[in-house]
């Protein structure tokens, strides 16, 4: 099913990347394993050696996740990781993203064990492990670091919305969704790479912990910032990327969904980034919200109406998350949504990435006219 459009590791820089093992017990390739899932697909900061998930031990993580082998094995625990590699990992990444944002009590010993083996800890949870006396003391004794990825800048340094977003003259496209953990970051990453491959200077703004761990050059953990400053921090990230890179287009990763009862960070993406266009990610096979099974999924049409009512922007395309769908059902959904919504529709993972580029060029033909771009807008159905 997968065309593997990204989805290889971003090429390493001249200096070697630190190596890492990702802990994702009982959650790899599931919704709450989204941090591990994303790092297996793309990691610029770390070379991923293996995954820890005893429920899938012995399998290839790429085959489990996308049906394409990547030679990153899954092991039952850290002992098995170390017994089956001649390269010791430098870092232990906590790769689960639970709704609570907290470390489970039984996982304390797992993290402490990694510290005792002199692995640096990368923590994407809302719970800051550096603030825990036991973890802090253990890390100091082992001479390792704990990186709390979601820790925001000091409150005195947080920025309010200024209106300077209007100085950003290139198109800004936000990738929003109808639920959390639905593929917004993955689609944003694939789209950014595909645009670059087409000769378009695209820059991505990451808004969550996974993108930051992957090595995003621009971004923030939006859901860890006091709401008063969220729009301003998004605005500042977009301006920083624009002034540093002079891009042709900026892609902004969304968070949660505008209609979501709990994960509302995309409101600040719409207000702070002021996107000229929105790509909406939707999972037709998902009937209820991932973390809130008492709430039915919104329809793509209802989410589009909400987005276009809430913000002065236009939804320029729909991308499909194909969970619980066959390849034939993906084709049927693409055709049906194109007829219903009258916008381009594709699947970023299961269909050629060029279709994402076509989607953008249809909405922003100025990009196709750039002298260094040799593609023309022509959506393939």
Domain extents for the chain? 19-148, 157-368
> Tell me: the pLDDT tens digits for 120-158?
999 999 999 999 999 999 999 999 999 999 999 999 999
Do the two domains 19-148 and 157-368 of this chain adopt the same fold? yes
- Is pLDDT above 90 for 275? yes
* Mean pLDDT for the chain overall: 95
* SS3 readout for 45-73: CCEEEEEECHHHCCCEHHHHHHCCCCCCE
> Tell me: the pLDDT tens digits for 64-87?
999 999 999 999 999 999 999 999
Q: How far apart are CA 207 and CA 157, in angstroms?
A: 18
Q: Token digits for 231?
A: 């729009």
Q: Residue 182's pLDDT is what?
A: 98
**H or E segment to which residue 303 belongs:** helix 300-310
> Tell me: the pLDDT tens digits for 229-238?
999 999 999 9
Question: What does DSSP say about strands 120-123 and 91-94: parallel, antiparallel, or unpaired?
Answer: parallel
Of residues 113, 111, 110, the one with CA closest to residue 130: 111
Q: Token digits for 199?
A: 């000769």
Q: Residue 3's pLDDT is what?
A: 43
Band of pLDDT at residue 241, cut at 50, 70 and 90: very high
**H or E segment to which residue 20 belongs:** strand 19-23
CATH homologous superfamily of 157-368 equals: P-loop containing nucleotide triphosphate hydrolases (3.40.50.300)
> Tell me: the pLDDT tens digits for 168-221?
999 999 999 999 999 999 999 999 999 999 999 999 999 999 999 999 999 999
Q: How far apart are CA 209 and CA 3, in angstroms?
A: 26
User: Please, what's the b/e burial string for 30-51 (b: 16 or more CB within 10 A of its CB; e: otherwise)?
Assistant: bbbbbbbbbbbbbbbbbbbbbb
- Is pLDDT above 90 for 325? yes
Q: Residue 377's pLDDT is what?
A: 52
- Is pLDDT above 90 for 376? no
Q: Token digits for 375?
A: 């593609």
Q: Residue 329's pLDDT is what?
A: 98
Three-state secondary structure call for residue 310: helix
Q: How far apart are CA 158 and CA 177, in angstroms?
A: 26
CB 270 within 8 A of CB 281: no
CATH 3.40.50.720 assigned to 19-148: yes
Q: Token digits for 379?
A: 């959506």
Q: How far apart are CA 85 and CA 66, in angstroms?
A: 24
In DSSP terms, 43 is beta-bridged to: none
CB 19 within 8 A of CB 167: no
Q: Residue 374's pLDDT is what?
A: 78
> How would you class 109 by CB atoms within 10 Å of its CB: exposed for 0-12, middle for 13-18, buried for 19 or more?
exposed
> Has this prediction a pTM greater than 0.85?
yes
| CB-CB neighbours of 375 under 10 Å | 16
């Amino acid at each position: 099913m997968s065309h593997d459009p990204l989805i290889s590791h971003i090429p390493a820089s001249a200096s070697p990347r630190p190596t890492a093992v990702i802990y994702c017990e009982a959650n790899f390739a599931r919704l709450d394993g989204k941090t591990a899932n994303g790092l297996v697909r793309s990691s610029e900061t770390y070379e991923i050696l293996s995954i820890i998930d005893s429920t899938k031990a012995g399998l290839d993580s790429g085959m489990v996740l996308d049906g394409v082998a990547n030679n990153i094995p899954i092991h039952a625990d850290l002992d098995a990781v170390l017994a089956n590699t001649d390269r010791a990992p430098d870092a232990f990444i906590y790769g689960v993203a639970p709704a609570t944002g907290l470390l489970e009590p039984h996982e304390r010993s797992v993290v402490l064990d990694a510290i005792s083996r002199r692995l640096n800890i990368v923590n994407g949870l809302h719970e800051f492990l550096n603030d825990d006396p036991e973890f802090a003391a253990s890390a100091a004794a082992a001479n390792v670091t704990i990186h709390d990825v979601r820790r925001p800048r000091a409150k005195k340094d947080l920025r309010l919305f200024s209106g300077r977003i209007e100085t950003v003259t290139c198109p800004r496209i936000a990738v929003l969704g109808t639920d959390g953990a639905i593929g917004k970051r993955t689609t944003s990453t694939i789209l950014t790479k595909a645009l670059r491959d087409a000769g378009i200077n695209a820059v991505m703004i990451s808004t969550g912990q996974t993108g930051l761990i992957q090595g995003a050059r621009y971004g923030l953990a939006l859901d860890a910032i006091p709401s008063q400053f969220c729009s301003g921090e998004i605005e500042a990230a977009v301006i920083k990327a624009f002034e540093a890179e002079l891009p042709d287009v900026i892609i902004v990763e969304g968070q949660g969904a505008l209609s979501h009862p709990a994960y509302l960070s995309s409101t600040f993406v719409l207000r702070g980034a002021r996107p000229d266009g929105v790509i909406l990610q939707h999972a037709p096979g998902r009937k209820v919200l991932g973390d809130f099974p008492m709430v039915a999924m919104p329809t793509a049409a209802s989410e589009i109406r909400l987005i276009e009512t809430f913000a002065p922007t236009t939804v320029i395309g729909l991308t499909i998350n194909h969970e619980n769908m066959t390849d034939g059902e993906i084709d049927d959904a693409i055709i049906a949504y194109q007829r219903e919504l009258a916008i381009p529709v594709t699947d970023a993972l299961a269909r050629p990435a060029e279709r994402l580029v076509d989607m953008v060029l249809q909405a922003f033909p100025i990009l196709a006219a750039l002298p260094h771009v040799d593609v023309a807008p022509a959506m393939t159905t």
